[in-house]
Amino acid sequence: MKKGNPLERYFYDNKGRLIHKWLHYFDIYDRHFSPYRGKPVTVVEFGVSHGGSLQMWKKYFGRKARIIGVDINPECAKFIEPQIEVVIGDQEDRKFLRALRKKVGDIDVVIEDGGHTMPQQINTFEVLWPAVRDGGVFLIEDLHTSYWPHYDAGHKKPGTFIEYSKDLMDQINAWHSREESLEVNKYTRSIKGMHVYDSIIVFDKGEVTKPKHKRRGTPTLSQPRTDAP
Ligand SMILES: C[S@@+](CC[C@H](N)C(=O)[O-])C[C@H]1O[C@@H](n2cnc3c(N)ncnc32)[C@H](O)[C@@H]1O
């Protein structure tokens, strides 16, 4: 029995079209994507390159999956095959992204592995997030470009995806804010979870309502504190 999860095994055995991935990503992919295997899911990958990863996703998600690759390079159109569609366009362009959203419909899994610049990442997240179905996921990778000067980025530099994601973390907690600078918005109501890894963030989509708390059990202190938990 070979070691590793099904994606890792596929990757190491791959003699077909080139796939380029950081090795620690496979564990993260399988952790977040395995519930969708064998289901009739729509998967969109930004960044087609040599076409190898689209075939890997087809094998991993199974016969019922619809796999859509998006790339700016028109040459990538040749990777169309049963179950695999390719759409050519610039992921920095919100107009293109809106048209893509219309064309593709609801999405279960987004894998964002395109050009990795800050405007590409932010625009793609903002336009495609509403297209992700409740119960779906949006995985964005190679976020280390947020620290690289040649991507017009750097540690704590405003405008990087990492800084943007810190604001989303605030938004998730906005229910508890007492300041006008942080109010509940569409992200508060739709990001069920945000999983932060080295170079990857995975967002879980789903309806979020105002959190509630309750007490159960017998008080045991003579002077119970009355402040919120
Ligand atoms: C990192 S490679 C993709 C690797 C591939 N997913 C894999 O796993 O082997 C990045 C791809 O993003 C594409 N890309 C670069 N800028 C883009 C843009 N503005 N819009 C869409 N795709 C872009 C490039 O043409 C390239 O094919």
220's tokens: 């045991």
Exposure letters 132-149 (e unless 16+ CB within 10 A, then b): beeebbbbbbbbebbeee
82's tokens: 């049963």
48's tokens: 């087609």
* pLDDT tens for each residue of 96-128: 999 999 999 999 999 999 999 999 999 999 999
Domains of the chain: 36-205 (3.40.50.150)
Q: Which ligand 1 atom sits closest to the C-alpha of 93?
A: 19
Instruction: For residues 33 and 73, give the distance between their C-alpha atoms in angstroms, rounded to a whole number.
Output: 27
Asked if pLDDT for residue 58 goes beyond 90, the answer is: yes
Ligand 1 centroid–CA 86 distance in Å is 12
Q: Is the pTM of this model over 0.85?
A: yes
Average pLDDT over residues 28-50: 98
Contact 128, 44 (CB under 8 A): yes
Contact 162, 155 (CB under 8 A): no
Which band of pLDDT confidence, cut at 50, 70 and 90, is reported for residue 224?
low
**Catalytic pick among 20, 32, 50, 116:** 116
State residue 40's pLDDT score: 98
State residue 2's pLDDT score: 64
In the residue annotation, 116 being an active-site residue is answered as yes
